[in-house]
């Protein structure tokens, strides 16, 4: 049975042609975005990429190999596929951690929404090229002054805690810890076990160094691992790692490999140890040697003090043997005799002076008596004075009836002028 009225047609949703034209009302479906991304990636040309190989695998019954290419400095990685024939052209195969350059075409899988590289050629990075890169890095660091001896800091005499960056359950860790505690049993360690080779080494070692450098209880950091090939020790010549060590505030000891091994870390670190055992000798003192040194120092101090006391005693004996100290009152007695003699001389001089003065007084007294008017009066003379005290020298000086005083030797008498 048919309907008499036609059903209204549904409006056709308009899909924007460009990504900038999409809105919440007019979005792109996922299939369209995936297709657009695949088309964009497909326009990219093949590219040479360098990195470290991680997790090489091949599914049974297939001709495709899968591997992960990881950046050597940071935690970035990409998936890579390659035909097994590409891997077969490599001498010795392809092991985890190998540094390679890959010629690949980027591919975006729309169903899974993943990006990966499709490789048609893989080349291991040769030892000569690695050495050339290391030498270039050394020149670069030297031009920045990071290899200068002036910037290297001395190690503390006795660290409160030693930060140790090492491999997991490694012989290098045992060498450092056991030898350090054999030298100084009370030493403490803050151990950070990390990957010391392979693609994760740089990232984990850098994180461990930063963590220990931020710990105020850690006074020195030791980075150590056992010996190995150039490729095995390559993370310790990585620019990112050596710059993290150069920026550390805490002194860093590099103890990588054996004495013949010399990664760039040895040049940037504050102290280079030839072996992990040597690092233990550098970071803590030997308690037996220090005890012997203290004993020797005490013996030297004791001898020096005894010698000084003997010298001072000899000097005192020499001083005491002098006459002034043998008879301490000698100087006082001499001065006493000098004082008594001076007093005697003074007394004699004063007596003589007084006698001469007494004689002079007697002589002068005689002269005074001889010249005195009293002596003349004693011979019968008299001095006539008027009432006002004036001396009468002439009869004309008085009048009749005037009263006069007659001064004689034994006193005076009163008189009246008769005429």
- pLDDT by residue for the chain (419 residues), tens only, comes to 444 445 555 555 678 888 888 888 888 888 888 888 888 888 889 998 888 887 788 877 788 888 888 877 676 888 888 888 888 888 767 777 778 888 998 998 888 888 889 888 888 876 666 777 788 888 898 899 988 989 899 999 999 899 999 998 888 999 999 999 999 998 999 999 998 887 788 889 999 999 999 999 999 999 998 877 777 788 888 888 999 999 999 999 999 877 777 888 989 999 999 889 999 999 999 888 888 999 999 999 999 999 999 999 998 888 888 777 777 777 788 888 899 999 999 999 999 999 999 999 989 888 887 777 777 777 778 888 888 878 888 888 788 888 888 888 788 888 888 87
For residues 178 and 98, membership in a common domain is answered with no
202 and 273 housed in the same domain: yes
pLDDT for 189 equals: 93
Q: What CATH code is carried by the domain that includes residue 138? A: 3.40.50.261
Q: Do 140 and 82 reside in the same domain of the chain? A: no
Domain annotation covers residue 309: no
Q: Are 78 and 162 in the same domain?
A: no
Buried b (16+ CB within 10 A) or exposed e, 22-50: eeeeeebeeeeebeeebeeeeeeeeeebe
- Distance between CA atoms of residues 377 and 390, nearest Å: 18
What are the strands of the beta sheet with 411-416, ordered from one edge? 383-386, 403-408, 411-416
Residue 346 lies in a domain: no
Beta strands at 252-256 and 383-386: parallel, antiparallel or unpaired: unpaired
Question: What pLDDT is attached to residue 242?
Answer: 92
- Compute how many other C-beta atoms are within 10 angstroms of the C-beta atom of residue 398: 16
Domains: count for the chain: 3
Q: Both 139 and 34 in a single domain?
A: no
* Residues 138 and 279 grouped into a single domain: yes
Using a cut of 0.75, tell me whether the model's pTM lies above it: no
Verify that 145 and 272 share a domain, yes or no. Answer: yes
Distance CA 189, CA 159 (A): 10
Q: Are residues 84 and 178 in the same domain?
A: no
Q: Which two tokens stand for residue 195?
A: 């990957």
Answer whether residue 29 is part of any domain. Answer: yes
Helices (H), 164-286: 171-183, 201-213, 239-247, 264-268, 276-283
Among 244, 263, 285, give the residue marking a domain's end.
285
Q: Is residue 296 part of a domain?
A: no
In a domain, residue 352? The reply is no
Range(s) of the domain holding residue 145: 130-149+157-285
Residue 2: the pLDDT is 45
Q: Find out whether 180 and 280 touch, Cβ atoms under 8 Å.
A: yes
Task: Return the pLDDT at 1.
Answer: 43
Q: Which of 270, 285, 300 is the last residue of a domain?
A: 285
Q: Are residues 184 and 249 in the same domain?
A: yes
Structure token pair of residue 9: 């047609």
Q: Are residues 116 and 136 in the same domain?
A: no
Beta bridge partners of 327: none
347: in domain: no
Identify the CATH number of the domain in which residue 107 sits.
2.40.50.140
Same domain, 70 and 118: yes
Q: Locate 377 and state its tokens.
A: 């009066």
Same domain, 80 and 172: no
Per DSSP, the three-state class of 189 is strand
Provide the greatest CA pair distance for the chain.
214
Choosing from 262, 285, 308, the residue where a domain stops is 285
d(CA 108, CA 233): 35
Give the residues across from 224 on adjacent strands: 255
DSSP state of 29: P
Phi, psi of 147 (to 5 degrees): -100, 5
Q: Would residue 54 count as lying in a domain?
A: yes
pLDDT score of 3: 46
The answer to whether the beta carbons of residues 283 and 220 sit under 8 Å apart is: yes
Is 12 part of any domain? no
Radius of gyration over every alpha carbon of the chain, rounded to an integer in angstroms: 62
Instruction: Give the per-residue pLDDT at 127.
Output: 64
> Would you state the pLDDT for residue 10?
55
């Amino acid at each position: 049975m048919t309907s008499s009225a036609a059903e209204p047609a549904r409006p056709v949703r308009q899909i924007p042609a460009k990504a900038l034209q999409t809105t919440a009302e007019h979005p792109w479906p996922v299939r369209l975005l995936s297709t657009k991304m695949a088309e964009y990636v497909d326009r990219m040309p093949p590219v040479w990429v360098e990195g470290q190989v991680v997790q090489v695998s091949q599914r049974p019954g297939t001709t495709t190999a899968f591997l992960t290419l990881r950046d050597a400095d940071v935690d970035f990685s990409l998936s890579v596929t390659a035909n097994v024939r590409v891997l077969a052209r490599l001498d010795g195969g392809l092991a985890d951690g190998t540094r390679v350059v890959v010629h690949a075409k980027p591919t975006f899988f729309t169903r899974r929404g993943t990006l990966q590289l499709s490789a048609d050629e893989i080349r291991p990075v040769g030892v000569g090229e690695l050495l050339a890169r290391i030498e270039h890095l050394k020149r670069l660091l030297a031009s920045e002054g990071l290899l200068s001896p002036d910037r290297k800091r001395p190690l503390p005499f006795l660290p409160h805690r030693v930060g140790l960056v090492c491999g997991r359950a490694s012989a290098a860790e045992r060498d450092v810890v056991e030898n350090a505690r054999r030298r100084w049993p009370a030493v403490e360690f803050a151990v950070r076990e990390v990957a010391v080779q392979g693609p994760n080494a740089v990232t984990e070692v850098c994180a461990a160094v930063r963590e220990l450098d931020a710990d105020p209880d850690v006074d020195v950091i030791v980075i150590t691992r056992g010996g190995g090939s150039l490729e095995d020790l390559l993370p310790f010549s990585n620019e990112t790692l050596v710059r993290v060590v150069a920026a550390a505030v805490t002194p860093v000891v590099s103890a990588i490999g054996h004495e013949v091994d010399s990664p760039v870390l040895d040049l940037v670190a504050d102290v280079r140890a030839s072996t992990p055992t040597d690092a233990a000798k550098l970071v803590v003192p030997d308690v037996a040697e220090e005890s012997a040194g203290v004993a020797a120092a005490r013996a030297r101090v004791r001898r020096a003090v005894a010698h000084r006391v003997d010298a001072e005693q000899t000097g005192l004996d020499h001083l005491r043997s002098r006459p002034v100290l043998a008879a301490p009152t000698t100087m006082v007695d001499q001065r006493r005799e000098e004082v008594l003699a001076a007093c005697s001389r003074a007394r004699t001089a004063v007596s003589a002076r007084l006698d001469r003065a007494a004689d002079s007084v007697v002589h002068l007294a005689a002269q005074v008596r001889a010249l005195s008017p009293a002596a003349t009066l004693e011979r019968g003379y008299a001095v006539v004075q008027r009432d006002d005290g004036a001396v009468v020298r002439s009869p004309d000086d008085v009048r009749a009836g005037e009263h006069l005083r007659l001064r004689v030797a034994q006193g005076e008498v009163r008189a009246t002028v008769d005429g």
